[in-house]
């Protein structure tokens, strides 16, 4: 890589676009005082990220913009572009050229560009520090700053040397890590404070959760009791239902049968209440018949009596004088037949008895015949009567049997009614049981709904519950006790409130947040530890590299010093400052060594030949310039910067030292491109390109390529 070009536009005295090409190893810028040479050196410094206005000889940003003159108006914008050759890809950019430019406006706004792309200052610094062009600008030695490194304190010196050794990039990384670490520690503190903030709430929620867990346990117990309770209750109700159906079914069917029997019997009784009128009429007819038959029979019997009396009379008078035997004398002395009560005529004369006997026999026989006839009639009447009586008996029997049937029905009806009322009372009691059943069944269903609300769906999921065989027939009171237990748990659960889910949700959220914060602290702590490790590693690397670098610089420094002073010695020494061994308490409680206290500073020890001078402060201006040049060149030799700008570094040198200086320049130009602002003839003679800077009456700097002789003239 090498420096290719510098373009200025509106920067300080360069009002017009001015381009400097650096095609030689040594480029000299010459010109009269105040023409703008140093402005060129400052243009580099500024374009490459310088933030100190003081080092740019300005107070405000706008001091860097061309301020106008009698012949030229003031400008509102200044820009400087530095162009590098990047064919070897020294910069991590895939272009052959890298152009770093900076712009400034009167309002103080700064803009940075890398190859035309707007970037941040940080990007520019990162890009340049990778090629040892850090912001300490050790490669740009401004006018009067040749002994800057001598004037600096030991830490500033260390910084310059670190920068020159290309270690700044590690320091940046370290600083960045430190910033990150600081931020991380702040974050840890913040997260810890957040964690502390939620801790009391979390504790409170934890207690609540214990309650919730208790409620959960109770709910689980409730579910288990519920399952058994429901299972048993279902069984109980099923049995109850069966018993009820049975209890109700029998009397119900019976009642129906009884009712229909009552209807039937009532109908029967209704119809059987009066005797059959035909039969009654017939009975009456038969009574009349009997009466008639008996009258006839009586008459005929009387007739028989008469006939029998006649026969007797006839028979007695014939044999023994029937009149004496069959006649009695009444109180009147009259003769009365005992049979016919007539009276009895006076016995006729016995003379005619025989005739009479015959007549009587005949008569008796006739009477007898008649009697037989009457007897037959009586017999016939008797038979008729018997028939009538039989019919009568039959009808009566029929009527009686009808009556019996009525009475039986009446009795049966009575019994049925009694049974009916009995059945009704049974049914009433069944109905009462039915009501009880309905109530219990309703309560069972309601309880299930309540159980689901209170303890979740699982509570009603009781069908799989198996009743232990040994308690299968437990008395109902046990179930009632179970029910009371359920009620007790329900009341306690209700007392605990129903906010369990909310609390759990809140607790889970809070705990998750706490865990997240804990993890965050863990992560942050780990990243803090990583950063600390990285910082330690970087410190270690910087320290090691620095020590190695200082060793190598010392070798060159001593050589250049001896060359310049014709003897003596010079070296850089690392000085451990008087530090307080302080430790900082970090948020992690880890004792961190105070980094700054650990850092070593750089001291410069010189010993001039033939002089007993050891301290820097005792050197003359020229000696200081020589010492710093020797050191600068030594550093540049060890870690050559891409280019080195030396603004009148040679101002204090006498002729012989100017020569030595010129020799060293030539040597150095083999490893670093050199841009020298000089009035020194010797120095000019070593340059491949000479630029003359002039300033006319318009106050605008102008640049021209010139020859050595011209340069000498201009410089004078």
Cβ 715 to ligand ATP, closest distance in Å?
A: 9
d(CA 646, CA 680): 12
Residues forming the site for ligand ATP (CB under 6 A) = 12-13, 31, 33-39, 63, 66-67, 143, 699
Report the Cα 498 to chain-centroid distance in Å: 18
Question: Which CB sits closer to ligand ATP, 34 or 71?
Answer: 34
d(CA 448, CA 457): 9
Q: How would you classify the pairing of strands 77-85 and 3-9?
A: antiparallel
Question: Which CB sits closer to ligand ATP, 413 or 644?
Answer: 644
Question: Which CB sits closer to ligand ATP, 65 or 99?
Answer: 65
Question: Which CB sits closer to ligand ATP, 104 or 517?
Answer: 104
Planar angle of CA 396, 398, 403, nearest 5 degrees = 90
Q: Is 167:542 a contact under the CB 8 Å cutoff?
A: yes
Cβ 604 to ligand ATP, closest distance in Å?
A: 27
What is the signed CA dihedral for 29, 32, 38, 41, rounded to 10 degrees?
Answer: -10
Cβ 14 to ligand ATP, closest distance in Å?
A: 9
Cβ 105 to ligand ATP, closest distance in Å?
A: 14
Question: Which CB sits closer to ligand ATP, 27 or 637?
Answer: 27
Cβ 82 to ligand ATP, closest distance in Å?
A: 17
Q: How many CB atoms lie within 10 A of CB 516?
A: 13
Cβ 555 to ligand ATP, closest distance in Å?
A: 34
**In which element (H, E) is residue 601 found?**
strand 601-607
Q: Say what angle helices 500-565 and 621-638 make with each other, to 10 degrees.
A: 120
d(CA 579, CA 23): 49
Nearest alpha carbon to residue 251 among 426, 431, 432, 428: 426
Q: Say what angle helices 154-164 and 168-271 make with each other, to 10 degrees.
A: 80
Question: Which CB sits closer to ligand ATP, 36 or 251?
Answer: 36
Cβ 678 to ligand ATP, closest distance in Å?
A: 10
DSSP string, 221-238: HHHHHHHHHHHHHHHHHH
What residues contact 207, with CB distance under 8 A and at least 6 apart?
Answer: none
d(CA 457, CA 377): 109
Over its C-alpha atoms, the chain yields an Rg (Å, rounded) of 78
d(CA 192, CA 525): 11
Cβ 36 to ligand ATP, closest distance in Å?
A: 4
Cβ 15 to ligand ATP, closest distance in Å?
A: 7
DSSP string, 10-64: SBTTB-S-EEEE--SSEEEEE--TTSSHHHHHHHHHHHTT---SGGGT-SSGGGG
Question: Which CB sits closer to ligand ATP, 37 or 624?
Answer: 37
Question: Which CB sits closer to ligand ATP, 146 or 542?
Answer: 146
Cβ 133 to ligand ATP, closest distance in Å?
A: 22
- Position with the least CB separation from ligand ATP: 33
Question: Which CB sits closer to ligand ATP, 13 or 79?
Answer: 13
Question: Which CB sits closer to ligand ATP, 57 or 368?
Answer: 57
């Amino acid at each position: 890589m090498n420096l290719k070009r510098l373009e200025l536009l509106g920067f300080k005295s360069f009002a017009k676009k001015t381009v400097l090409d650096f095609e030689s190893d040594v480029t000299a810028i010459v010109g009269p005082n105040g023409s703008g040479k140093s402005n060129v050196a400052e243009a580099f410094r500024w374009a490459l990220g310088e933030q100190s206005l003081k080092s740019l000889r300005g107070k405000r940003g706008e001091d860097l913009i061309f301020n106008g003159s009698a012949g030229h108006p003031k400008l509102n914008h200044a820009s400087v572009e530095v162009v590098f050759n990047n064919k070897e890809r020294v910069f991590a950019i895939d272009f052959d050229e890298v152009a770093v430019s900076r712009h400034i406006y009167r309002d103080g706004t700064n803009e940075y560009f890398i190859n035309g792309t707007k970037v941040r200052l940080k990007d520019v610094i990162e890009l340049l520090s990778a090629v040892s062009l850090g912001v300490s600008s050790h490669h740009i030695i401004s006018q009067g700053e040749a002994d800057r490194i001598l004037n600096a304190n030991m830490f500033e010196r260390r910084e310059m040397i670190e920068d020159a050794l290309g270690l700044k990039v590690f320091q940046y990384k370290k600083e960045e890590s430190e910033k990150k670490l600081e931020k991380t520690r702040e974050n840890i503190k913040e997260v810890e404070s957040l964690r502390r903030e939620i801790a009391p709430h979390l504790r409170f929620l934890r207690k609540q959760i214990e309650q919730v867990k208790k409620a959960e346990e109770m709910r689980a117990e409730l579910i288990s009791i519920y399952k058994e309770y429901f299972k048993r209750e279902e069984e109980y109700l099923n049995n109850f239902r069966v018993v009820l159906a049975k209890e109700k079914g029998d009397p119900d069917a019976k009642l129906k049968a009884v009712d229909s029997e009552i209807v039937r019997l009532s109908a029967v009784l209704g119809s059987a209440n009066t005797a059959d009128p035909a039969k009654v009429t017939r009975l009456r007819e038969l009574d009349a018949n009997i009466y008639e038959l008996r009258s006839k029979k009586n008459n005929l019997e009387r007739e028989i009596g008469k006939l029998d009396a006649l026969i007797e009379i006839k028979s007695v008078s014939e044999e023994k004088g029937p009149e004496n035997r069959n006649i009695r004398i009444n109180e009147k002395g009259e003769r009365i037949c005992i049979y016919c009560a007539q009276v009895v005529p006076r016995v006729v004369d016995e003379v005619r008895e025989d005739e009479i006997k015959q007549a009587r026999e005949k008569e008796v026989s006739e009477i007898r015949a008649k009697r037989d006839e009457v007897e037959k009639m009586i017999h016939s009447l008797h038979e008729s009567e018997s028939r009538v009586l039989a019919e009568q008996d039959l009808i009566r029997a029929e009527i009686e049997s009808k009556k019996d049937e009525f009475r039986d029905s009446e009795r049966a009806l009575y019994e049925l009614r009694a049974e009916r009322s009995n059945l009704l009372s049974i049914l009433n009691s069944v109905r009462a049981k039915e009501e009880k059943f309905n109530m219990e069944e309703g309560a069972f269903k309601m309880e299930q709904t309540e159980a689901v609300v209170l303890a979740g769906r699982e509570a009603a999921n009781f069908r799989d519950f198996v009743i232990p065989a040994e308690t299968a027939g437990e008395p109902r009171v046990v179930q009632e006790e179970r029910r009371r237990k359920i009620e007790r748990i329900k009341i306690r659960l209700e007392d605990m409130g129903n906010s369990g889910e909310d609390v759990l949700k809140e607790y889970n959220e809070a705990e998750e947040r706490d865990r997240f914060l804990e993890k965050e602290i863990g992560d942050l702590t780990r990243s803090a530890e990583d950063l600390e490790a990285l910082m330690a590693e970087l410190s270690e690397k910087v320290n090691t590299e620095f020590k190695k670098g200082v060793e190598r610089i010392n070798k060159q420094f001593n050589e250049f010093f001896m060359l310049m002073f014709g003897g003596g010695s010079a070296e850089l020494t690392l000085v451990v400052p008087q530090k307080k061994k302080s430790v900082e308490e970090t948020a992690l409680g880890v004792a961190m060594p105070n980094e700054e206290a650990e850092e070593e500073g750089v001291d410069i020890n010189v010993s001039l030949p033939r002089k007993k001078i050891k301290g820097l402060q005792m050197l003359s201006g020229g000696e200081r310039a020589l010492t710093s040049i020797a050191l600068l060149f030594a550093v540049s030799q060890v870690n050559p910067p891409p280019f080195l700008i030396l603004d009148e570094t040679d101002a204090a040198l006498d002729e012989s030292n100017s020569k030595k200086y010129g020799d060293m320049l030539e040597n150095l130009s083999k490893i670093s491109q050199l841009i020298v602002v000089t009035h020194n003839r010797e120095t000019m003679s070593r340059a491949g390109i000479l630029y003359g800077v002039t300033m006319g009456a318009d106050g605008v700097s102008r640049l021209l390529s010139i020859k050595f002789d011209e340069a000498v003239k201009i410089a004078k």
